[in-house]
Structure 1
């Protein structure tokens, strides 16, 4: 099973000091966090894509390419690539280039985005969000899978005899996740293509995500990719840890109470009761995370949000130390022990897809 972290790249004032990092400081902190994630033994670093304040990661491939040059093992991903407002041609070329630079350590997560003003900034209409996502992804797949593409759709100028360059590394496109918090259409397209489905279940009660994930699993089996329990599922999570749970709650409370992302809504206690947010000891994080498989079935990727709400870099790196040293080793062991032999333990990687292709050519 893969474990990692994702960042939304917010620039938020630290409520305990009144200090706000500059955009430069925040960007450099994110790259430091990514490198430390590899050092503590995590499998994945993922960044969001945002084009509005208070967020800074507007160019995920630039950031991930920089990180790729300074790491060796960690998978570099997005926690959102905006399939609605990005040109599919640019996505195809950018992520193929990143594949080559990172020696295949790349996948990406498609998302529609939920910030309404972003759509007109890129000449799009949010009311067409779902059909835009479906059409753009169909074109993206063809750009990666076909050497020469002739195409005409509703939302983009036609292509005639077009070849996306560079071609995907070894002729193998990056593995794609589809992230959704509310849209059954996105679960459907993930299932149709045999892609992964990522439920970033960090804000809503689990019952909502159980319904979406079960839909994806049923349709994955319907399209002949395997049994429902073999579908490739990823989950989000949020944690803040200290050795002593009371210390964790005391330290994190001002960040929770003031963070724009939480909307000044439910209390910290209510939010941790209703969502995957865990504020406490490493043991509490382990216990709550292990319960995810009881709700959603055996899954392949777990990403945690750890660097938001104005938390200083030093604190985030301490969180990563606890995650890598005390939490993930136990989760790996426990999830492996409960996973049936026929259920994949990891999502597809460039190496595994290349090996599968070579094995099929030998037996053909």
Structure 2
């Protein structure tokens, strides 16, 4: 089981102090968070991709390449790579390069994005969102696996005998997650390719996401990649921790109430009841996170959102200490202990490479 944090990179005013970080401050803090995540024993750091204020992570591979040079173990991922508005050729090249720089500690999560204006900014039409996601990934999948690609599609110019460079590290493309909060077509796409499916269920009730995950698992088995419970599933989550729940609620409430993404709507209590958000003690976070397995089955990756809504960096680093010292060791032991032997662990380059080599030997022997 892999545990990590993801950031959306928002620049938000701290409602308790009135301080608004500069873009430079926010970018630097994201790097600090990634390094701290590795220090406290987390497995994954992931960043979103946004091209509009108040967000700063417009170039995830640039940030992750910088972080790669300052870390040694942690997996570096995106929590969204916009497969709809990025050129698949550039994605193929950028992430293969990042693979080499990070020694294989790289994967990525494909997403359509939830900001309508981003499509025309990159010459696309939001009404083509699903067709773009399907066609662009079909090309990307081939670019990483074929030395010479001929391609004709609807949304880009043709390719003739094109070779994407550099080639994936060890001939093994980065692991791909397909992220969705509402689209069954994306769950189907993930299942078709045997990739991972990530349900970032941080805003909506679990029942909606249970249906998406169940669809993905059933179709994963249908396409012959393994049994339904062997499909690779990731989940999002949000936490705010203090030693006792009263302090956590009191401290986090002004951030929740004023946050652009969910403030001025349901109360903090309503939101924590209906979504994965946990505001409380380490034990409360452990207890609630363990219920995710009851709802979704055994899964491979859990990412938490910590650095949002204007929370100062010092507070986020304190959250990481509590998460790494008191929460993750318990969750890891419990989750791994309950997972049947036939259900795979979270994907890593090393493990996937060993599997690929074993299969090659088996095929040669056959």
TM > 0.5 between the two?
Answer: yes
Structure-1 residue corresponding to 2:164: 164
Would you say how many aligned residue pairs link Structure 1 and Structure 2? Answer: 363
Deviations 1:171-209 (A, max 9, x none): 110000000000000000100000000000000000000
Structure-2 residue corresponding to 1:322: 322
In 1: Cα distance, 2:91 partner to 2:41 partner = 29
Structure-2 residue corresponding to 1:344: 344
In 2: Cα distance, 1:49 partner to 1:345 partner = 26
Matches within 5 A, 1:173-322: 173-322=173-322
In 2: Cα distance, 1:359 partner to 1:274 partner = 44
Say which SS state the counterpart of residue 261 (structure 2) adopts.
helix
Cα offset, 1:112, TM superposition: 0.2
Structure-2 residue corresponding to 1:66: 66
Matches within 5 A, 1:70-89: 70-89=70-89
In 2: Cα distance, 1:96 partner to 1:232 partner = 22
In 1: Cα distance, 2:60 partner to 2:288 partner = 30
Q: Is the 8 A contact 2:3 2:328 kept in 1?
A: yes
Q: What is the aligned-residue RMSD (CA, Å)?
A: 0.6
Structure-1 residue corresponding to 2:110: 110
Say which SS state the counterpart of residue 237 (structure 2) adopts.
coil
Structure-2 residue corresponding to 1:359: 358
Structure-1 residue corresponding to 2:46: 46
Deviations 1:188-241 (A, max 9, x none): 010000000000000000000000000000000000000001100000000000
**Stretches (4+) displaced over 4 A:** none
Cα offset, 1:139, TM superposition: 0.3
Whether 1:134 aligns to 2:113 is no
Cα offset, 1:263, TM superposition: 4.2
Cα offset, 1:360, TM superposition: 2.1
Matches within 5 A, 1:20-39: 20-39=20-39
Deviations 1:43-63 (A, max 9, x none): 000000000000000000000
Whether 1:119 aligns to 2:147 is no
Structure-2 residue corresponding to 1:95: 95
Cα offset, 1:127, TM superposition: 0.4
Cα offset, 1:349, TM superposition: 1.7
Say which SS state the counterpart of residue 32 (structure 2) adopts.
helix
Gaps in structure 2 of 5+ consecutive residues: none
Say which SS state the counterpart of residue 9 (structure 2) adopts.
coil
In 2: Cα distance, 1:138 partner to 1:77 partner = 20
Cα offset, 1:362, TM superposition: 2.5
Cα offset, 1:66, TM superposition: 0.1
Deviations 1:250-273 (A, max 9, x none): 000000000001042100000000
Say which SS state the counterpart of residue 198 (structure 1) adopts.
strand
In 1: Cα distance, 2:151 partner to 2:169 partner = 23
